[in-house]
């Protein structure tokens, strides 16, 4: 991951409405939500929300797909993985003694024990 893209992502998440939208969209994986519903859910004018959604999209954190009159937004979970990886893995600079404890903390949430999951994650 380029640091320019990381900065885009951090900038996008460094705003409460956008952070909330991003988490809302993760909750609604994998169906997604239309722009109007998102705006109503957050009690934000539709044009303001449109701007926020554009920022998140440019940052690669969400993606849009037109469906008839609505435009459905979805979280890009790949982006979460890449960003978390940028924080943990790339930042550690290949020094397992630093990032191993970080990963150890994350793993209990939902450990990827099986080979099947490892295969799925291998891009």
Partner DNA sequence: TCCATATGTCGAGACTAATCGACATAATGG
Partner DNA sequence: CCATTATGTCGATTAGTCTCGACATATGGA
Residues that bind DNA (CB under 7 A): 11, 14-15, 17-18, 34-37, 39, 44-55, 64, 66, 68-71
**Pairwise CA distance, residues 35 & 94, whole Å:** 40
Handedness of CA 96, 122, 33, 57 (dihedral sign): positive
In angstroms, give the least distance from the CB of 68 to a second copy.
Answer: 27
In angstroms, give the least distance from the CB of 95 to a second copy.
Answer: 8
**Pairwise CA distance, residues 34 & 50, whole Å:** 11
> Segment 51-110, which members bind a second copy (CB under 8 A)?
77, 80-81, 83-85, 87-89, 91-93, 95-107, 109-110
In angstroms, give the least distance from the CB of 98 to DNA.
Answer: 23
DSSP assignment of 60-110 equals TSEEEEEETTEEEEEE-HHHHHHHHHIIIIIHHTS-HHHHHHHHHHHGGGS
Q: Which of a second copy, DNA, none sits in contact with 70, Cβ below 5 to 8 A by type?
A: DNA
Contact 73/62 with Cβ under 8 angstroms? Answer: yes
Phi, psi of 44 (to 5 degrees): -130, 140
* 120 near a second copy (CB under 8 A): yes
Residues of this chain that interact with a second copy (CB under 8 A) are: 3, 6-7, 10-11, 13-16, 19-20, 22-23, 26-27, 29, 77, 80-81, 83-85, 87-89, 91-93, 95-107, 109-113, 117-118, 120-121, 123
């Amino acid at each position: 991951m380029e640091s320019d893209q990381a900065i885009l992502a951090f900038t996008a998440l460094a705003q409460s409405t956008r952070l909330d939208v991003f988490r809302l969209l993760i909750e609604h994986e994998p169906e997604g939500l239309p722009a109007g519903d998102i705006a109503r859910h957050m009690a934000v004018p539709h044009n303001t929300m449109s701007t926020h959604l554009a920022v998140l999209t440019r940052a690669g954190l969400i993606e849009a797909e037109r469906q008839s009159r609505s435009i459905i937004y979805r979280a890009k979970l790949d982006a979460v993985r890449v960003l978390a990886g940028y924080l943990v893995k790339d930042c550690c600079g290949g020094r397992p003694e630093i990032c191993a404890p970080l990963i150890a903390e994350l793993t209990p949430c939902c450990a990827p024990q099986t080979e099947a999951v490892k295969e799925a994650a291998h891009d």
